[in-house]
């Protein structure tokens, strides 16, 4: 049987356990700056239900476990701050939890589930960043080694950072891109929406199966011919233009299939909060589609 190490009483604790599952569930604050040769759970206190907070500083090394996929799992309104350290396996938020990442190295996925929130201000993530179940992720900086994925009516906002591979939205989710660098494809499918107003686009745009990709900017052209605002009529080609933040792109391949759209919106740089504008766009699109479906 796996050994469990629980912290209930001390308001601040430094974990120095080896080969143990460390569970924080006392409703207090804790600090870790050493190695744990297993995984860490952070929950609210029982039965009071007070949130627990754990801060990970320089010297942290969470190795994970052969029997578990996670290095860190935070749930139940509790929270974690990663200032530095190494996490060999997945880092996960769930059930209204909050995780903030300022630096450090994640060896696998970063995942948000069920109305939880993750903020990424820096650090390195070796694999995917994924939002599930009406969760929210915001990315300001850092390096992501694989994809950024939103599904299950989740929201991801990308303001900066480097994404090595794809950005994907599906399952009624929204991804807003205001900045950052994308290495490969931007894909929306199965009722997903991707709203792009800045950053460096990848190699292609793909909209499939009732999805929508929005490009906000100016000087758009398709296959070398200038075009105005609205939905792109042709199903494939090469698009160029300048996004709202001033970033220009040239000859990015696009592909539109199965009642999907890529929409060009010519607008000045917005004065308001990007998140609010993006959410209004999402609501407007969903309302318009509901009217169309009623008529059918």
Q: What is the pLDDT of residue 68?
A: 64
Q: How far apart are CA 187 and CA 41, in angstroms?
A: 34
d(CA 182, CA 218): 20
Structure tokens at 187: 């894909």
Domain count, the chain: 1
d(CA 227, CA 230): 9
Structure tokens at 157: 């906002």
**56-79 b/e with 16+ CB inside 10 Å = b?**
bbeebbbbbbeeeebbbbbbbbbb
Flag whether 139 is in a domain. yes
Residue 186 lies in a domain: yes
Q: Is 187 helix (H, G, I), strand (E, B) or coil?
A: strand
Ranges of residues in the chain with a pLDDT under 50 are 1-19, 269-279, 284-296
What's the confidence (pLDDT) of residue 21?
A: 82
pLDDT number for residue 46: 80
Q: What is the pLDDT of residue 234?
A: 94
111 domain-assigned = yes
Residue 71 lies in domain: 4-210
- Residue in the structure block whose two tokens are 């929508």: 212
**Which residues, other chains included, contact 97 with Cβ-Cβ below 8 Å and sequence gap of 6+?**
42, 74, 75, 76, 77, 78, 79, 80, 116, 117
Nearest to 139 by CA among 120, 162, 112, 155: 120
> Which alpha helices (H) appear in the chain, and where do they start and end?
274-295
Q: Is residue 249 part of a domain?
A: no
Whole-structure pTM value:
0.83
Residue 125 confidence (pLDDT): 97
Residue 290 lies in a domain: no
How is residue 180 written in tokens? 């950052």
pLDDT for 67 equals 56
Q: Is residue 67 part of a domain?
A: yes
pLDDT at 287: 46
Residue 157 located in a structural domain: yes
Helices then strands, each counted (H, E), the chain: 1, 34
pLDDT of residue 20: 62
Question: What integer pLDDT is reported at residue 194 of this predicted model?
Answer: 97
Query: What pLDDT score was predicted for residue 3?
Result: 37
The whole-angstrom separation of Cα 97 and Cα 76 is: 6
């Amino acid at each position: 049987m796996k050994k469990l190490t629980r912290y209930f009483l001390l308001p601040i604790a430094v974990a120095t356990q080896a080969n143990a599952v460390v569970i924080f569930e006392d409703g207090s604050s804790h600090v870790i700056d050493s190695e744990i040769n297993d995984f860490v759970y952070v929950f609210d206190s029982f039965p009071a239900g007070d949130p627990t907070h754990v801060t990970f500083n320089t010297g942290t090394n969470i190795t994970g476990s052969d029997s578990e996929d996670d290095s860190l799992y935070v749930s139940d309104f509790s929270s974690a701050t990663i200032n530095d350290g190494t996490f060999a396996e997945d880092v996960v938020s769930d059930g209204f939890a909050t995780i903030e990442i300022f630096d450090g190295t994640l060896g696998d996925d970063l995942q948000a589930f069920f109305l939880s929130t993750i903020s990424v201000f820096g650090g390195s993530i070796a694999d995917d960043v994924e939002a599930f179940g009406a969760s929210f992720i915001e990315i300001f900086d850092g390096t992501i080694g694989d994809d950024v994925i939103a599904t299950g009516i989740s929201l991801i906002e990308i303001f900066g950072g480097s994404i090595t591979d794809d950005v994907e939205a599906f399952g009624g989710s929204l991804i807003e891109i205001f900045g950052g660098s994308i290495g490969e494809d931007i894909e929306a499918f199965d009722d997903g929406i991707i709203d792009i107003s800045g950053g460096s686009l990848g190699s292609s745009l793909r909209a499939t199966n009732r999805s929508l990709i929005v490009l906000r900017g100016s000087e758009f052209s398709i296959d070398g011919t200038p075009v105005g605002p609205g939905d792109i009529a042709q199903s494939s080609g090469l698009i160029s233009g300048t996004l709202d933040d001033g970033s220009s792109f040239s000859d990015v391949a696009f592909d539109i299939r199965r009642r999907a759209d890529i929409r060009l919106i010519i607008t000045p740089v917005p004065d308001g909060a990007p998140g609010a504008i993006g959410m209004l766009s999402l609501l407007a699109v969903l309302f318009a589609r509901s009217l169309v479906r009623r008529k059918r």
